[in-house]
Amino acid sequence: MYNTTNKTKHARIVTEVPGKKSLSIYNDEQKFIAPGTQTIASLSKIALERGDGAIIEDVDGNRYIDFFAGVGVASLGYNHPKYVKFMTDQIGKIHVGSFVTKNRAELAELLAEVAPGDITRSQFYSSGAEAVEAALRLAKSYTKKTEFLGFWGGFHGKTMGVLGLLSDTFKYNLGPLPVGTFSTPYANCRRCPLNDTFPECKFRCVDFIKEKIRYETTNQIAAIILEPIQGTNGNVVPPKGFLVELKKLTEEIGALLIVDEMITGFGRTGKMFGCQHDDVVPDIITIGKGFGGGYPMTGLMSRDEVISAKPFSNPSGSSSSYGGNPLASAAAYITLKTIIEDGLVENSRKVGAFMLERFKELQKKYDFIGDVRGKGLMIGVELVKGKNSKEKLDKKYTQLIFTECLKRGLITMGYNPDIRINPPLIITEEIAAEGIEIMDEVFQNVAEQIKY
């Protein structure tokens, strides 16, 4: 067993990991749960007991620093006093029902205040994929067109309607894909699929879209959809101006720009929304994950003219059973209010900049760190086969990094060569520094074993 005593202040490991109690619960569930649960859960095999701030505790009493936050879902961390009180009060009053509540009315108004430009109206759902599909319906309703374009490496959920927009192996063997869905290279300049160099290329990937539309589609693009930073693809940051170029292009071709802010929204990138790094006002924004602070609450936002389009705006045309119910609305309202009141966008910017700097120092120290990128508390650390290689590090080493971090009291998405760091927005510099020290120690340890 790894002994954390005296070494760490916040992480605390008191048993083997996973401990006996965790393993017993994990094994019990394995008899009945469908295979295919989240990789991080099946690799760790820990069973959760409680959380506090940016710390998670398992049933064996091991405490882990959380650089994962359920992929950015736990925006306020765990057991946040304002969240707990608000939700407890609400569940004791009423938790479901399709009617408006004071919280929902105030939430919609608050969203209009924080959203960019003329985006003032919202509708609510209960999964990210559902919100994205609603955005596609809205785009069809407004433009009366039928086709959609996503990006290589993009991720928008796992339902059938978005499968064609996932430019990822996830869709293998699940075809045929919905007709009218296309995808095109993202501005992933480190690995440009067009073999160009930025800024000399002047966004050739955007020009390429025109050729794509000309040769592959029926010229009926209703919307282009993208993540302002690609999360699932490894927290890949496009160069400044990418969204500006895409906005110009959509205006030129009479399509809408949907920015999927599921991960990047609500302070994650050091601004309220990811699209604000480019000062672009999209036509539709999709929101979720950290929006409800952990409660399954998602949504879309748009401007008056677009969101009034039919059939989306017909009675019961945009709504759903659970979206925006009293408990969901309470969750999102208190989360957003707390993000604003507690200055969590600013905290994300500040602690994120500190973490990015520390990871850049580690990049100088370890030649298997090929790239460090990010904005706010959304950081990507790319592991490769040596400084001069862009070939990604073997998974046997990255999975070792994951388990070694876990054993020392750090949960991080280190099992892939593109490590994604997205802790709760409330994380302090002190806790972040302790987590990075653990990663440093693990990198040192693994460096000695790596053979390229």
Ligand X SMILES: Cc1ncc(COP(=O)(O)O)c(C=O)c1O
Q: Which residues bind ligand X (CB under 6 A)?
A: 71, 127-129, 132, 155-157, 227, 231-232, 260, 262-263, 288
Half-sphere exposure of 121 (CA within 13 A, CB side): 13
**CA–CA separation, 418 and 104 (whole Å):** 38
Give the Å distances, CA to CA, from 44 to 47, 385, 438, 449.
9, 25, 17, 21
**CA–CA separation, 417 and 435 (whole Å):** 18
Residue 172 CB, shortest distance to ligand X, in Å, is 18
The CB density around residue 383, as the number of other CB atoms within 10 Å, is 23
> Do the Cβ atoms of 211 and 229 come closer than 8 Å?
no
Residue 235 CB, shortest distance to ligand X, in Å, is 11
Please name the helix (run of DSSP H) or strand (run of DSSP E) that holds residue 217, with its range, or none. Answer: none
Cβ-based nearer residue to ligand X, 255 or 263: 263
Cβ-based nearer residue to ligand X, 10 or 137: 137
What is the amino acid identity at position 268? R
Residue 385 CB, shortest distance to ligand X, in Å, is 28
Residue 304, φ and ψ in degrees, nearest 5: -45, -55
Residue 17 CB, shortest distance to ligand X, in Å, is 26
DSSP per-residue letters across 110-141: HHHHHSSTT--EEEEESSHHHHHHHHHHHHHH
Residue 295 CB, shortest distance to ligand X, in Å, is 12
Residue 348 tokens read as 């994300």
Residue 154 CB, shortest distance to ligand X, in Å, is 8
Label residue 267 left, alpha or beta by phi (over 0 means left) and psi (-120 to 50 means alpha).
left
> Do the Cβ atoms of 369 and 383 come closer than 8 Å?
yes
Q: Kindly give the pairing relationship between strand 221-226 and strand 181-184.
A: unpaired
Residues in Cβ contact with 429 at an 8 Å cutoff, skipping those fewer than 6 apart? 350, 351, 354
Can you tell me which residue has the tokens 């388990």? 403
Cβ-based nearer residue to ligand X, 53 or 150: 150
Cβ-based nearer residue to ligand X, 18 or 153: 153
Residue 135 CB, shortest distance to ligand X, in Å, is 10
Cβ-based nearer residue to ligand X, 121 or 156: 156
Residue 11 CB, shortest distance to ligand X, in Å, is 26
Cβ-based nearer residue to ligand X, 53 or 288: 288
**CA–CA separation, 106 and 111 (whole Å):** 9
Q: Partners of 12 in the beta sheet?
A: 63
Residue 296 CB, shortest distance to ligand X, in Å, is 7
Cβ-based nearer residue to ligand X, 161 or 370: 161
Residue 334 tokens read as 């208190």
Residue whose CB is nearest to ligand X in the complex, by number: 128
> To 5 degrees, how large is the angle CA 319–CA 167–CA 424?
65
Cβ-based nearer residue to ligand X, 162 or 345: 162
Name the burial class of residue 63, with classes exposed (0-12), middle (13-18) and buried (19+) by CB atoms within 10 angstroms of its CB: buried
Cβ-based nearer residue to ligand X, 260 or 382: 260
Residue 231 CB, shortest distance to ligand X, in Å, is 5
| 375 three-class SS | strand
**CA–CA separation, 102 and 83 (whole Å):** 17
Cβ-based nearer residue to ligand X, 260 or 404: 260
Can you tell me which residue has the tokens 């748009």? 302
Residue 129 CB, shortest distance to ligand X, in Å, is 4
**CA–CA separation, 154 and 240 (whole Å):** 18
Range list of H helices, 195-307 = 204-216, 242-253, 304-307
Cβ-based nearer residue to ligand X, 180 or 288: 288
Residue 287 CB, shortest distance to ligand X, in Å, is 10
Cβ-based nearer residue to ligand X, 263 or 425: 263
